[in-house]
Structure 1
Amino acid sequence: MQRVTNCILTKSNEALLLRKPSRGWWVAPGGKMESRESIRESVIRECKEETGMVINNPELRGVFTVVIEEKGSIVKEWMMFTFQANNFSGKLLNKSPEGELAWTPITKIPHLPMASGDYPIFDHVLYGEGLIYGTITYDENLNLLSYRLDTAGEQFQE
């Protein structure tokens, strides 16, 4: 099973987002973990590679199973570990190798094009507290089929 880390970097009332060219969707910078790498090492490395920023003390905010299914059968599945950081240094890359970078007002995030399952993740990281767990299921075209989220004993489903 593939493992992925990402990080929502925040400053004031903005978050650093990455727009992927393939679909034009905005995401939190991150990517695949390498062999023998911890999730913390991965998120620090991925953020630096994609943004130029070195994050300090990233806080784990979400652990998710992401499933792609076709006609009820699992086609692909991975684990995603979402962090938040507001302490970082470095110089923002003029051009990321992964797409367009932009500091975005937090209030605009719910209106940006992104994977449907990312909206509740961003909402929790930006406005909630603690750690959230979940399973997000898409079809092969990345249409959201369902999600289950659990934070501090409260469960949310769609």
Structure 2
Amino acid sequence: MQRVTNCILTVEDKVLMLQKPRRGWWVAPGGKMESGESVRDSVVREFFEETGIQLKDAKLRGIFTIVVEEKGKVIDEWMMLTFQATAYSGELLEQSPEGILAWQPLDAVTDLPMAPGDYHIFHHVLQSAELVYGTFTYTKDFQLIAYRLETDEQPAAKLQQDI
């Protein structure tokens, strides 16, 4: 199972986002963990590689399983660990090797094109201080089939939705 880390960097009323060229979707910068790498080292390294920015206070905010199904069978699966930070050092790259970087207004983030499950992730991280756990199930062309989110305070049954 592939492991991925990303970070939602919020500063004042903006969030740093990366627009990936493949689908034109906006994401939190991040990427694949390397073998033997710690989760924290991965998010700091990946964020720096994609943005030129060194995270200062990244805190784990979400642990997600992403499942891709075709005809009811799992064809791909990975784990994503989402962090949030509010402080950084360094200068933003003029050109990211992964796409277009832009500071987006917090209140406009969920209006941007992104993977359907990412709307739920951003909403939770930007609205709550709780760690969230979740599973997102997609078709192979990334249509959201179902998702389940839970926190220590809210069991999955209250946050689950089938699409």
Which TM class, normalised by the smaller chain length? over 0.9
What's the C-alpha RMSD, in Å, of the aligned pairs? Answer: 0.6
**What's the offset of the Cα at 1:57?**
2.3
**Whole-angstrom CA distance in 1 between matches of 2:93 and 2:110:** 25
Amino acid at match of 1:109: V
Q: Which residue of 2 aligns with 1:91?
A: 91
Task: Using the TM superposition, give the Cα deviation of residue 110 of structure 1 relative to its aligned residue in structure 2, in angstroms.
Answer: 1.2
Provide runs of 4+ in structure 1 moved above 2 Å.
none
- Map 1:99-138 onto structure 2 (within 5 A): 99-138=99-138
Whole-Å separation in 1 of the counterparts to 2:59 and 2:143:
29
- The one-letter code matched in structure 2 to 1:74 is V
Report the counterpart of residue 157 of structure 1 in structure 2. Answer: 160
Please say if 1:30 is aligned against 2:30.
yes
Query: Aligned equivalents of 1:73 and 1:8: distance in 2?
Result: 31
What secondary structure is seen at the aligned counterpart in 2 of 1:117? helix
Q: What stretches of structure 2 of length at least 5 have no aligned partner?
A: none
Whether 1:69 aligns to 2:69 is yes
| Counterpart code for 1:105 | P
Q: What is the SS of the residue equivalent to 1:16? A: strand
Could you tell me how far apart the structure 2 residues matched to 1:28 and 1:129 are? 17
Structure 1 unaligned blocks of 5 or more? none
2:45 is aligned to: 45
Matched length: 158
Normalised to the residue count of structure 2, the TM-score between the two structures is 0.95
% identical equivalent positions: 58
Q: As a proportion of its length, which structure holds more strand? A: 1
Give the letter aligned to residue 24 of structure 1: G
1:2 aligned residue: 2
| Alignment match, 2:19 | 19
Q: What is the Cα deviation at residue 153 of structure 1? A: 3.4
Give the TM-score of the pair, scaled to structure 1: 0.98
